[in-house]
Amino acid sequence: MDELESVIITSNGLTAKIARLGAELVSLRDPQHRELMSDGDPAYWTGRAPILFPIVGRLDGDRYTLDGDRYALPQHGFARRTEFAIAEQGESHVRLRLTDSPVTRVAYPFAFVLEMDFLLDGATLTMAATIRNPGLVPLPASFGYHPAFAWPLPYEAARTGHRIVFEADEAADILAITSDGLIDGKRPSPVEGDTLRLSDDLFAHGALIWNTLDSRSLRYGPPAGPALEMDFPDTEWLGVWTKPGAGFVCIEPWAGMADTLGYHGDFRDRPGVFEIAPGSSRTFRMTVRLAEN
C-alpha cells in the first residue's frame, strides 16, 4: 500500500499502519517487526480490519426499508470502502474522519460524522469509534470492529494450540446463520466453560456469533507465551470468524448484527440498531494488548 494512502504510528511496544481507505488497521507489529495481523492472502480474504458502519452484517436482499422507502447497502455498510480524511496526527496517535456526502446519502439518508481514533501506548493499541449526529433527526446506525489477527501468532506456538479465553463462562447458545450470512435461529455454544479451542471445523458453516455475551474482555493465543488481550467495553455482541485453512482469525466486537432471515421491517427496528439524538454522539472502544506471558 502506498505510504501516501496510509498512516504509521509508533510506540516503544508496537507499530501500527492504518489505511485512509476505510480507516482500516492493516498492520500491527511488535518491536521485532513480527506481524500480528492477517497477511491478506487473496486465496482466503484480503481484509485486515474493516470498520463496519452504518450496518453490521448483511441485509436481507442487501436492501432495507426506512419510512416506507427502499434503500440498498452492501454487507457491513460503506465505511470500509470510503476514504477517510486525517483530522489529527502525531507520533503515536491518529484520528481519521468520515462525513456524509451526496454519495453516502443515496444509500443512507442521514447526516453523520464518524471519527476513528488509534492510539499506541507501550504494548497497547486503543481504537475508539465516535459517531456524531449533526443532523436534525435521530440517527439510526450499527457499528462493528472486524480485525483479523494472525493465526498462529508469530511466535513458537503451533496453530492447533491457539484458543480464546473469555473473562467469564459463556454457556449461552450462539446464533445460527444461513449461507448468505442471515440470522436463522440458534445453536449450541462451542465454548467449554470460558475457553474456545480454535479449529478449522468450528468455521465450516461460517462465523460464530454471540448475541448473549457476559464477557467484555478476552485473551487470544496459545496457553503459554505471548498472546493478545482485548477489551471491548461498549459492545454487546461478538463475532469470531475465519475461513478454514486461513492464517487469521477475526475477533469482532459488534453493536449490531445481520438481518434475521425474512426480515422486512423498518430499519430502525432491526436488532442492534441504536439511535443517536441530534447533537449527540456515541463511542465504541476496543483495546488490544500484546501480553508477553
Give the model confidence (pLDDT) of 257-269 as tens digits: 999 999 989 999 9
CA distances from 103 to 43, 106, 112 (A): 31, 6, 13
Residue 4 has a pLDDT of 57
CA distances from 32 to 35, 152, 155 (A): 9, 17, 11
Distance CA 74, CA 91 (A): 35
Whether pLDDT at 2 is above 80: no
Q: Give residue-wise pLDDT tens across range 111-126.
A: 999 999 999 999 999 9
Scan for cell 426499508, then name that residue: 65
Residue 1 has a pLDDT of 46
Distance of CA 96 to the CA centre of its chain: 16
Residue 212 has a pLDDT of 95
CA distances from 139 to 50, 76, 142, 228, 273 (A): 22, 17, 10, 34, 10
Q: What H or E segment, with its residue span, contains residue 103?
A: helix 102-107
Handedness of CA 45, 36, 16, 254 (dihedral sign): positive
CATH T-level fold of 3-291: Beta-galactosidase; Chain A, domain 5 (2.70.98)
**Which letter, b or e, does each residue of 32-53 get, where b requires 16 or more Cβ atoms within 10 Å of its Cβ?**
eeeebbbebeeebbebbbbbbb
Distance CA 179, CA 195 (A): 26
Q: Give residue-wise pLDDT tens across range 153-197.
A: 999 889 999 999 999 999 999 999 999 999 999 999 999 999 999
Contact call for residues 126 and 285 (beta carbons, < 8 A): yes
Q: Give residue-wise pLDDT tens across range 31-64.
A: 999 999 999 999 999 999 999 999 999 999 999 9
Residue 293 has a pLDDT of 75
Taking the model in full, what pTM does it have?
0.96
Over range 16-41, report the average pLDDT.
Answer: 97
Q: Please report, for the chain, the start and end positions of each structural domain, with discontinuous segments joined by +.
A: 3-291
Backbone angles phi, psi at 134, to 5 degrees: -90, 0
